[in-house]
């Protein structure tokens, strides 16, 4: 009897096709799956609104109003949450516009994972450096009393913080690769204020916000209203305007007697941590197992910029390691690909842009075809279409491709060579096609899952009743969503793919009501949202 491997090798092209189809299927989210996820999402929303300590924290923010664009003043803001720390000074002009000066400071791995005091000292040092660099100090409304000489500062702190007041909140857990010691359970404003006081800086942290809340407020300021803020960047999360009456867990808190609305920070990145609904693949499981927070932030790990590159790296590695024959890159890996988190989500974005955009790279920038690309043409006959690029029963010679397709694949080869450390001859046109396929699988799933979160907010706010074919829009006011983050801003077709799934979930009419607008200024500067909240705080304390 022939050994099993020989049988596999004989049928290799067919087996590869079947193997790739299996992987493709794992990443598809059909209508039923999308609907189930959204139904479960609504349940977790309501659990989080009723009780503390739930996987989805549904954090009351004590922000009970939204700016309308007429606010004025100059404020300091500090923004920690991703790759950079930002210090900004923002002048709100009262006409929905603002001016912004900002400085970014790198946050090293050591600061992210060392002692929390070192991180907070660094934050205070950065504010000090920023103020020193500014020729004129900000003119700010300072209120009265002993703090009247201090500059008020709003802190955007983009981690789950259980707020007990606008200027007080305990860190529940770190996310997005942060793990600084001795911070969990502590008041974040207190930690920052201590660091300011130790340095004798006349700065007072008057407000603490999550970036999603900042996005909602800042969009409300520039657009004259918003009811949801969402981040699709390094992490993902959303905040929306909820009725205080629905926040059962507030119990007898005075906010309940006041009634009205309050912004809730959902921390939707923690949705389905038990993974009963999210369709995990082996590539997701590996990512989770090797992460610094296994079993947490399940939803975020399917969606956000911190993780999409890593899921894709896991797919590449499995295709490189495939036996008895490698499927990708002739079985070669590079130091970049072998490194944990060595594939940046930016690569996915570049690859998809190179595929989408004819202008992205002139064909003359493309690398010449490899030997395998050239030698297959004569005997193979006619042209093949894009759907056949991954058909391993057919060879993929350059002359069999439409010119536009050839140029697209050549551009992708150039990107792979540049960013993943391959030599040009290691990357065939087939490899380029596989790379693009994997990137699109991962990012399309992320965009469709993002839609389940937005649909959940629309239903929770009572703007849509029912999910899927039952969905019925209530009223005609827009559902204004202020967004921020590299995926939604720069990833090709992210919003379009999200909207496709939104149509499935809340119908065409519902999808049209969702108005997505950037919550930042034109130059792509982040962190400004904090300032509108500090304004908010200053005004309400006057």
Our CB check for ligand GLC shows the closer of 176 and 407 to be 176
CB of residue 8 to ligand GLC, shortest distance in Å: 42
Q: Does 507 bind ligand GLC (CB under 6 A)?
A: no
Number of Cβ atoms within 10 Å of the Cβ of 346 = 15
Our CB check for ligand GLC shows the closer of 214 and 397 to be 214
**Of positions 237, 277, 428, 530, contacts ligand GLC by CB under 6 A:** 237
**Binding segment toward ligand GLC, per CB under 6 A, in 35-43, 231-239, 284-292, 343-351:** 231-239
Number of Cβ atoms within 10 Å of the Cβ of 187 = 20
Is 301 an annotated catalytic residue?
A: no
Binding mask 464-503 for ligand GLC (x = CB under 6 A): ----------------------------------------
- Cis check: omega of the bond before 324, within 30 degrees of 0: yes
| Distance, C-alpha 305 to centroid of its chain | 5
Return the C-alpha torsion angle 257, 258, 263, 264, nearest 10: 0
> How far apart are alpha carbons 365 and 428 in whole angstroms?
16
Q: Which of 79, 121, 167, 176 is flagged as catalytic?
A: 176
Q: Does 446 bind ligand GLC (CB under 6 A)?
A: no
Binding mask 56-85 for ligand GLC (x = CB under 6 A): -------------------------x----
**Of positions 207, 216, 231, 351, contacts ligand GLC by CB under 6 A:** 231
Provide CB contacts within 8 A for 142, sequence distance 6+.
148, 149, 150, 151, 152
**Of positions 36, 175, 414, 530, contacts ligand GLC by CB under 6 A:** 175
Number of Cβ atoms within 10 Å of the Cβ of 182 = 10
Which contiguous run of DSSP H or E holds residue 324?
none
**Binding segment toward ligand GLC, per CB under 6 A, in 180-188, 208-216, 391-399, 432-440:** 208-216
Provide CB contacts within 8 A for 382, sequence distance 6+.
400
Our CB check for ligand GLC shows the closer of 92 and 303 to be 303
**Of positions 69, 160, 526, 527, contacts ligand GLC by CB under 6 A:** 160
Binding mask 287-326 for ligand GLC (x = CB under 6 A): -------------x--------------------------
DSSP E strands in 183-307: the ranges are 203-209, 228-232, 236-243, 261-265
Three-state secondary-structure class, residue 472: strand
Q: Does 511 bind ligand GLC (CB under 6 A)?
A: no
CB of residue 212 to ligand GLC, shortest distance in Å: 5
Is 176 an annotated catalytic residue?
A: yes
CB of residue 349 to ligand GLC, shortest distance in Å: 18
Q: Which of residues 250-289 bind ligand GLC (CB under 6 A)?
A: 267, 269
Helix residue spans in 82-164 (DSSP H): 109-113, 116-133
Our CB check for ligand GLC shows the closer of 235 and 397 to be 235
Give the DSSP letter string of 48-81: HHH-TT-SS--EE--------S--EEEEEEEEES
Our CB check for ligand GLC shows the closer of 74 and 297 to be 297
Angle at 20 between CA 374 and CA 24, to 5 degrees: 125
Q: Which of 121, 167, 187, 211 is flagged as catalytic?
A: 211
Q: How many residues bind ligand GLC (CB under 6 A)?
A: 16
HSE, CB side, 13 Å, CA atoms: give it for residue 262. 26
Q: Does 176 bind ligand GLC (CB under 6 A)?
A: yes
Backbone angles phi, psi at 143, to 5 degrees: 70, -155
Q: Does 527 bind ligand GLC (CB under 6 A)?
A: no
The DSSP secondary-structure symbol of 369 reads: P
- Specify whether the CB–CB gap between 479 and 515 falls below 8 A: yes
**Binding segment toward ligand GLC, per CB under 6 A, in 125-133, 230-238, 358-366, 515-523:** 230-238
Q: Sign of dihedral through CA atoms 44, 48, 52, 55? A: positive
**Of positions 75, 98, 159, 422, contacts ligand GLC by CB under 6 A:** 159
Q: Bridge partners of 90?
A: 75, 100
CB of residue 343 to ligand GLC, shortest distance in Å: 20
**Binding segment toward ligand GLC, per CB under 6 A, in 97-105, 204-212, 241-249, 446-454:** 204-212
> Two tokens at 177?
């690769």
Our CB check for ligand GLC shows the closer of 237 and 528 to be 237
Determine the straight-line distance between the first and last CA of the chain, rounded to whole angstroms.
87
- Specify whether the CB–CB gap between 532 and 91 falls below 8 A: no
**Binding segment toward ligand GLC, per CB under 6 A, in 4-12, 92-100, 158-166, 412-420:** 158-166
Taking each helix axis as running N to C, give the angle between helix 403-420 and helix 345-356, from 0 to 180 degrees, rounded to the nearest 10: 160
Q: Sign of dihedral through CA atoms 29, 18, 396, 364? A: positive
Q: Does 211 bind ligand GLC (CB under 6 A)?
A: yes
The DSSP secondary-structure symbol of 139 reads: P
Which residue has the CB atom at the shortest distance from ligand GLC? 235
Q: Does 210 bind ligand GLC (CB under 6 A)?
A: yes
Our CB check for ligand GLC shows the closer of 297 and 443 to be 297
> How far apart are alpha carbons 123 and 111 in whole angstroms?
10
**Of positions 54, 158, 312, 456, contacts ligand GLC by CB under 6 A:** 158
Catalytic site positions: 176, 211
- List residues binding ligand GLC (CB under 6 A): 81, 158-160, 175-176, 210-212, 231, 235-237, 267, 269, 300
């Amino acid at each position: 009897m022939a050994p099993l491997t020989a049988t596999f090798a004989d049928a290799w092209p067919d087996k590869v096709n079947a193997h790739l189809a299996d992987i493709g299927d794992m990443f598809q989210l059909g209508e039923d799956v999308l609907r189930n996820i959204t139904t479960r999402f609504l349940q977790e929303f309501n659990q989080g609104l009723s009780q503390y300590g739930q996987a989805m924290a549904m954090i009351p923010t004590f922000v009970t109003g939204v700016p309308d664009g007429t606010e004025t003043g100059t404020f300091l803001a500090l923004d920690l949450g991703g790759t950079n720390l930002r210090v900004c000074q923002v002048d709100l002009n009262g006409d929905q516009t603002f001016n912004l000066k900002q400085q970014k400071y790198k946050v090293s791995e050591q600061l992210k994972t060392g002692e929390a005091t070192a991180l907070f000292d660094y934050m205070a040092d950065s504010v000090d450096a920023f103020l020193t660099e500014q020729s004129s100090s900000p003119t700010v409304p300072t209120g009265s009393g002993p703090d009247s000489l201090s500059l008020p500062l709003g802190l955007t702190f983009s981690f789950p913080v259980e707020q007990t007041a606008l200027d007080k909140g305990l860190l529940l857990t770190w996310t997005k690769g942060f793990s600084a010691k001795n911070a969990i359970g502590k008041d974040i404003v207190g930690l920052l204020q201590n660091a300011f006081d130790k340095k004798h800086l006349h700065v007072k942290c008057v407000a603490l916000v999550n970036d999603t809340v900042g996005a909602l407020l800042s969009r409300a300021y520039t657009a004259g209203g918003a009811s949801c803020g969402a981040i699709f960047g390094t992490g993902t999360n959303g905040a929306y305007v909820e009725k205080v009456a629905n926040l059962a867990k507030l119990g007898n808190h005075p906010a309940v007697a006041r009634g009205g609305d309050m912004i809730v920070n959902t921390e939707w990145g923690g949705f389905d941590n038990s993974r009963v609904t999210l369709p995990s693949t082996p590539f997701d499981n590996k990512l989770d197992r090797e992460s610094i927070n296994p079993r947490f932030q399940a939803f975020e790990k399917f969606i956000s910029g911190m993780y999409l590159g890593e899921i894709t790296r896991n797919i590449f590695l499995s295709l490189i390691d495939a036996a008895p024959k490698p499927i990708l890159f002739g079985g070669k890996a590079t130091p970049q690909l072998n490194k944990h988190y060595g594939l940046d989500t930016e690569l996915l974005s570049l690859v998809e842009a190179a595929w989408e955009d004819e202008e992205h790279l002139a064909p003359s920038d493309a690398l010449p075809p490899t030997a395998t690309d050239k030698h297959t043409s004569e005997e193979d006959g006619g042209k093949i279409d894009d759907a056949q690029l991954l058909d391993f029963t057919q060879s993929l010679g350059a002359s069999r491709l439409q010119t536009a397709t050839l140029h697209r694949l050549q551009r992708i080869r150039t990107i792979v060579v540049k960013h993943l450390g391959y030599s040009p001859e290691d990357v065939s046109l087939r490899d380029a096609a596989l790379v693009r396929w994997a990137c699109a699988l991962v990012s399309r799933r992320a965009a469709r899952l993002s839609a389940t979160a937005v649909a959940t907010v629309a239903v929770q706010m009572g703007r849509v009743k029912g999910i899927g074919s039952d969905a019925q829009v209530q009223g005609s006011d827009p559902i204004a969503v202020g967004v921020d983050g590299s995926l939604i801003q720069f990833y090709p077709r992210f919003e379009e793919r999200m909207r496709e799934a939104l149509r499935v979930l809340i119908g065409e009419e519902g999808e049209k009501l969702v108005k997505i607008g950037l919550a930042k200024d034109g130059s792509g500067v982040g962190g400004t949202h904090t300032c509108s909240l500090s304004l908010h705080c200053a005004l309400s304390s006057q």
